[in-house]
Amino acid sequence: QCYTYCCLTPSPSPPPPPAPSRPPFPPWLPYQCSCDWTAEHACPGWDSPGSSWLKPWADDDGTKCFEYCCSTMPAPPPSPPPPPPPPPAP
């Protein structure tokens, strides 16, 4: 009876391996970016230019900050339309 129990009974399957640990979210960037410059130099493709009269649009300079600010940040909302003109006087 011991032989039947020990040797003929299938052994339980081993526990599954632990799941791999996930990286922290969001991933830590090896650099720091402030996108404040987009107020003066708007990203290409945005509806409104930046406030700089000399250079209202930014150029892609190949930096990670340009990529981060111009491809992951949504464009600011467009300016509201001007108010309608007053009705003509009678």
34-58: pLDDT as tens digits:
888 999 999 998 888 999 989 999 9
Is 0.75 surpassed by the pTM of this model? no
Local confidence band at 87 (pLDDT 50, 70, 90 cut-offs): confident
Contacts 24+ apart (CB under 8 A), 56-62: none
Amino acid 40: pLDDT: 93
Has residue 30 got a pLDDT over 90?
Answer: no
The number of CA neighbours under 13 Å toward the Cβ of 7 is: 4
Q: Is the pLDDT of residue 25 over 50?
A: no
Q: Do residues 58 and 67 touch, judged by C-beta distance below 8 A?
A: no
